[in-house]
A and B are shown apart, each in its own frame.
Chain A
Amino acid sequence: MSSLQFDIAHLLAGSLVLASFVMLYQDRLYSLLNVYALHASVLALSVAWQAYVQKAPHLYVTASIALIFKAIIIPVALHRIIARLGIHRELEKVIGVGMTMMAGIALVALSMVVMLRVTPGADALAREDLAFALSVVLLGLLVMVTRRNAVSQVVGFMSLENGLVLAATGAKGMPLVVEISVAFSVLIAFIVIGIFLFRIRERFDSVDVQALDRFRGERR
């Protein structure tokens, strides 16, 4: 692999992490969705680049799945859900942008250290890719943890899944069947969560998960 190919792969994976960071401080739902669409597009690009570099045509399928489902269908569907729920004007309190960003930086550093320590034998691209992928996964989790709105938790989950796909394509040789099944499981999770969103709203007039807690008689 030439150093240019390596650098471009590196750049794309790094942009994915960057997109995750952008996602961290979005406090409006629509902009969060737009960033998610960007996230998925960068993923699609990165996977396509891997397909070209590794000369693995089946990865193009993965890339197109990412592009069509994650960058287009899911964001559009979520847009419509938000519009129907009428929560597009809601501002979401993210727990202190500064704190969140600091935590995110710490997570990236942590995943770098972990990956460099545990994979000394693997080739350089796989190592870098795995480190970036782990950062994306951790940042996705951080999004889920810091949000209260069910929709943004779903988005956090989806971005987490993007990290998994990145890891899988970097590691060379994940069979197509597995990728397709992962893609479909995400789609099904999306459908189930979407249905739940409406059910929650029917019941509580809100998709704020705090309503669920109040319903269970919990104190915060």
Chain B
Amino acid sequence: MIAVALWSVAVLLALAPAGIALSTRPRGSFVLYAACLIVTMTLCVTGALHLLDPAHPPSTATLPVGLPWLGAHFRLDALSAFFLVVVNLGGAAASLFALGYGSHEESPGRVLPFYPAYLAGMNTVVLANDAFSFLVAWEFMSLTSWALVVSHHRDSENVRAGYVYLLMASFGTLALLLAFGVLANGAGYDFDAIRAAHPSAAAAGVVVILVLLGAGSKVGLVPLHAWLPLAHPAAPSHVSGLMSGVMTKVAVYGFVRIVFDLLPEPVWWWSMVVLLVGGPTATLGVLYALMQRDIKRVLAYSTIENIGIVFTGLGLALAFKAEGLDWVAALAFTAAMLHVFNHALFKSLLFFGAGAVLGSTGERDMEKLGGLIHRMPKTAFAVLVGCVAISALPPFNGFVSEWLTFQAILLSPQLPSWGLKLIIPAVGGLLALAAAFAAACFVRLYGVSFLGRPRSDVAASAHETDRFSLAAMFALAALCLLAGIVPGLLIDALAPVSHAMVGNVMPHQTGLEWLTIVPIAESRSSYNGLLVFLFVALSGTAAASAIHRLASDRVRRAPAWDCGFPDPNPAIQYSASGFSQPIRRVFGSVIFAAREIGEMPPPSSPRPARLTVVVRDLIWEALYAPIATVIGWATERINVLQFLTIRRYLTLVFSALIVLLVVVAL
């Protein structure tokens, strides 16, 4: 098993230099993406086979590379297998999408070599079984994705995004490095050795905080999120899909691997920290998303929201496990993993949709789109499925994982600790708010971009995208529906992961009639995706046909030559800013210090009236800007060292030598 996985990773690595050669060929990108598609499918099947076979022991391998006395250890267990499926499902979908989308690439030489290397990096992180391989693979993944972010380097904003990303990625790796340093104290770098060691409670707490910083900076937990909405949209769209849908999941993997697997039994305050970060991340992420006009940026902020939901689930699992309620911990953990899987599906789908729109119109600003449902009907349908799924509406998959998370939250009164008893319902409230905002956010995204009339010429002249892109989007849309109708299969497949990480599993689901799922017991609550789907489909069809029959037949009177539109100007349509204005007025004035400046020209002046909206990112101003100022100030001072005289350099070297010798002598 592990051999297949490692060989596939090796093939991906070998494809990277091949990408350089292929980038100059006319069909080069097609060949490369096809090869990536095959390899990622192989990896995906490998992971799935391992996950579905309950008797499978973890398979390990050691390669003679890396640190000389350590080697590189790799291991495929239930958790790795699950994330292998997530990573490569996303990777395969992105490769399929890129079969068509990649041919529009202006400079394929900047994308093709890094794309397979990036996939290889993410797979290696998931497979690594010692700290050194893990960190090297992690950094490799960061660097290759950075190269992809700055692939369109003519745009100065992309370069800035790449710079901020690189800084945050280095910070994250540093935090993880320190975390492994604390873990390896007395145990070594092999994960098996770390697992067997028993760090002190204080050391374990430090590791949790460091991992939260390290993995959190990669997934965009508030307040470490600032780079994410800059960097994810800057990459080519299939890579954006990978970064948002898949790479954030790899970081979740890192968190789960260290906190649930490598560390000993959790302590209650760990969950407190995770919950207090996760809940606000969900709400703030989607509030940010509601303020944006750029489609890809909306999607990137929505990633932050979904990561908040996942981390809330993980925090709940920690809380219940620390208090000895294993069976609820299994529920919360399974919900978080299910959301990881679901988010990888629909976020990739939505980014591909944004890529199709971008490829066809060249526009990312939704205020300049509109009416695309008539020009790109198939894309519009696939994106609609993605929007419904991410808004957590039944019968799609987003609902299942969020519902399961809420089921776990509803069990919080059983916790003995008062702090958690008070805080979990508050976090639940934040999550509910986030879910409602997410629905508003995607109604806005879909309504403004795809419905109505085109707001610009490019939107009016849009055309349907190619068949490979459509195939990728429809495959993901079908998976979203499937995962929503038969979640029981997924929950059962996740049982070995849950068993390995929290020591208990959710009730067995597949034996229940009508594909029902029950989180705890049938007497308490249950959900049936299939029945909801049938009901939605039947009632929807019935309502549509009734309206068509009864309403369309009526004779209506309207002004002549008007076609039902009293004013032909598309600017009178509901705009994206208009849609989010109520939410901005209620929440934005505090959270974003949003202000509206209305400017009315005096009577008799021909100038138009103007309304300017100022939205500030307070976290950026309060946290990042001061740090940047301090670092800038310090580097200005240190910069003097760059311009010393030769003699002073010699003196510096000399005194350093003397100081070292004195240290030796003493």
Contact = CB atoms under 8 A, between A and B. Distances in A.
Interface of A: 107, 110-111, 113-114, 117-118, 138, 141-142, 144-145, 147-148, 153, 209-210, 212-213, 216, 218, 220
Nearest to A113: B665
B664 A145 contact: no
Nearest to B655: A145
Contact of A110 (B650, B653, B658): B658
A218 B647 CA distance: 13
B645 A114 contact: no
B661 A114 contact: yes
A209 B646 contact: yes
Contact of A118 (B645, B654, B664): B664
Given A209-B647, A218-B645, A220-B645, A145 B654 contact: yes
B647 A145 contact: yes
B649 to A, nearest CB: 10
B650 A216 contact: no
Contacts of B645: 209-210, 212-213, 218, 220
Given A110-B661, A111-B661, A141 B643 contact: no
Interface residues of B, number: 14
Interface string B2-33: 00000000000000000000000000000000
A212 B647 CA distance: 11
Contacts, number: 41
A209 to B, nearest CB: 5
Contacts of B646: 153, 209, 212
A153 B646 CA distance: 10
B657 A141 contact: yes
B651 to A, nearest CB: 5
11 contacts: A114-B661, A138-B657, A138-B658, A141-B654, A141-B657, A142-B654, A144-B650, A144-B654, A153-B646, A153-B650, A212-B646
B-side interface mostly = helix
B15 to A, nearest CB: 43
7 closest residue pairs by CB, A with B? A113-B665, A213-B645, A114-B665, A141-B654, A145-B651, A145-B650, A114-B661
Nearest to B663: A114
Contacts of B654: 141-142, 144-145
A147 B651 CA distance: 11
Given A141-B657, A142-B654, A145-B651, A216 B643 contact: yes
Contacts of B658: 107, 110, 138
**Which interface residue of A107, A114, A148 has the most chain B CB atoms within 10 A?**
A114
A105 to B, nearest CB: 14
B336 to A, nearest CB: 56
Nearest to A209: B646
Interface string B256-293: 00000000000000000000000000000000000000
Interface in B625-653: 643, 645-647, 650-651, 653
| Chain A interface SS verdict (over half) | helix
B662 interface: yes
A114 B647 contact: no
A80 B646 CA distance: 25
B654 to A, nearest CB: 5
A219 to B, nearest CB: 10
Contacts of B650: 141, 144-145, 153
Nearest to A216: B643
A45 B661 CA distance: 29
A210 B665 CA distance: 35
A212 to B, nearest CB: 7
B665 A218 contact: no
Interface string B134-161: 0000000000000000000000000000
A27 to B, nearest CB: 17
A156 to B, nearest CB: 9
Nearest to B662: A110
A107 B658 CA distance: 8
Nearest to A134: B661
A110 B655 CA distance: 13
Given A113-B665, A141-B654, A144-B654, 17 more contacts: A107-B658, A111-B661, A114-B661, A114-B665, A117-B665, A141-B650, A142-B654, A145-B647, A145-B651, A148-B647, A153-B650, A209-B646, A212-B645, A212-B646, A213-B645, A218-B645, A220-B645
A122 B661 CA distance: 19
B178 to A, nearest CB: 32
Contacts of A212: 645-646
Contacts of A138: 657-658
Centre residue among B651, B654, B664, B665 by max chain A CB count within 10 A: B665
A203 to B, nearest CB: 15
A141 B647 CA distance: 11
A147 B650 CA distance: 11
A76 B162 CA distance: 57
Contacts of B647: 145, 147-148, 209
A111 B645 CA distance: 27
Nearest to B652: A145
Nearest to B661: A114
A147 to B, nearest CB: 8
A214 B654 CA distance: 23
A209 B651 CA distance: 14
A206 to B, nearest CB: 14
A142 B658 CA distance: 11
B643 A218 contact: yes
A144 B652 CA distance: 12
Contacts of A111: 661
B652 to A, nearest CB: 10
Contacts of A209: 645-647
Contacts of A218: 643, 645
Nearest to B653: A141
A91 B662 CA distance: 34
A114 B659 CA distance: 12
Nearest to A217: B643
Contacts of A220: 645
B471 to A, nearest CB: 62
B650 to A, nearest CB: 5
Contacts of A114: 661, 664-665
A220 B646 CA distance: 12
Contacts of A210: 645
B53 to A, nearest CB: 60
A27 B665 CA distance: 32
A111 B664 CA distance: 10
Contacts of A148: 647
B309 to A, nearest CB: 57
A168 B665 CA distance: 22
Given A141-B654, A142-B654, A145-B654, A110 B643 contact: no
Nearest to B660: A114
A76 to B, nearest CB: 26
Contacts of A141: 650, 653-654, 657
A190 to B, nearest CB: 17
A126 B651 CA distance: 29
Contacts of A145: 647, 650-651, 654
A12 B650 CA distance: 29
B660 to A, nearest CB: 9
Nearest to A117: B665
A113 B654 CA distance: 18
A141 B661 CA distance: 14
A111 B665 CA distance: 8
Contacts of A147: 647
B658 to A, nearest CB: 7
A209 B643 CA distance: 14
Contacts of B653: 141
A39 to B, nearest CB: 19
A111 B646 CA distance: 25
